[in-house]
Amino acid sequence: MRIALRIEVTSSRGLREGVPNLMRLFNEYQVPASFFFPLGKDLAGHDPMRTWAHRRQTGMRALAYGLFMPAPAFDDESRRIAELARSNGHEIGVIGYSPLAWARHLAHADSDWVAAQLELLKLACGQPPFDASPALAVMDWQTHPDLIGACEASRFRYTSMSRGRMPYLPVLQGQRATVPEIPTTLPTLPEMLRHAGVHAGNVHEYLYAESRHLQPAGHVYSLSADLEGIGALDVMEKLLIMWKGQDGSIRRLGDVLRDIDESTLPRHRMGWGQVAGNRRHVVMQSLEVPA
């Protein structure tokens, strides 16, 4: 059993509390992971309904960010904690620019908005520790054709923006990426908790059962520094124990690529769909197309 850990860092509290909590836990169990850091601003107040729903993780104060209080900048703190994560053997990447803005607007944005965001990201990634073709993830599995077209090896090592079955080269509305996409293969904790009979006390058992369904390149589990890093740290620990047992391995997303021949990666279309337990449409790996 091979599980790669993809960690979204999308809030100020998740950055300052969730990431250090997860790093301590991973260090205890000697497992590596991939952390995706924000570089723009925390705009939680721009989406009050979502922030209210996640107030236990992000904190009540976040409801005012960008509205009644200045939006906190992620940049300096992200760089400091990302360097610490890398020194502890973890892989680091970026999660868009301002992750909430990308999650809300990216799929339906015009080309000018996408170009402006990519330029901001390019400037931010020109400084350590994100200055060596970092990996790119997007919050809530969103994307845009222009973003796919911009995914070149000179900018990103790989991307992780979709739900799917195995690594592939994406195609969206005629745009072809030249870097691999490593999709999330497993349900998330919130998705699983929306199933009948699943609760905080047994959700790790259901997630473990899902991970036993074999995939060609192993599984990718997406977790949140806000959730598993703060309120559900005990669930994450139970999963680590179960995944490490019986000769299982836990790894970084980049390790997935090191175990395969990238020249043999298939090219697949991206589409939009829904997964059980998630009300939002997300980007999904679709049919294979000629290379």
Q: How confident is the model at residue 51 (pLDDT cuts 50, 70, 90)?
A: very low
**Which of 38-42, 70-74, 184-188 bottoms out in mean pLDDT, i.e. has the lowest?**
70-74
Q: Where are the domains of the chain?
A: 2-289
Per-residue pLDDT for 159 more than 50? Answer: yes
Distance of CA 205 to the CA centre of its chain: 22
Cα 192 to Cα 139: distance, rounded to the nearest angstrom: 18
Tell me which architecture the domain covering 2-289 has in CATH: Alpha-Beta Barrel (3.20)
What's the whole-number mean pLDDT along residues 104-129? 94
Token pair recorded at residue 75: 């940049």
Pick from 55, 13, 34: which is nearest to 256 by CA?
34
Q: pLDDT tens digits, residue range 217-256?
A: 999 999 999 999 999 999 999 999 999 986 779 999 999 9
DSSP H or E run through 86: helix 75-87
Pick from 188, 159, 221, 236: which is nearest to 2 by CA?
221
What's the whole-number mean pLDDT along residues 111-125? 95
Q: Are 40 and 66 in contact, with CB atoms under 8 Å apart?
A: no
Note every long-range contact of 59-62, with CB atoms under 8 Å and residues 24 or more positions apart, other chains counting: 59/13, 62/11, 62/12, 62/13
The position carrying tokens 């991973």 is 26
Q: Is residue 152 classed as helix, strand or coil in its secondary structure?
A: coil
Pick from 221, 218, 224: which is nearest to 240 by CA?
221
The pLDDT of residue 50: 52
Q: What is the pTM assigned to this prediction?
A: 0.91
- The amino acid at residue 185 is T
Phi, psi dihedral angles at 127 (to 5 degrees) = -120, 150
Q: Are 160 and 136 in contact, with CB atoms under 8 Å apart?
A: yes
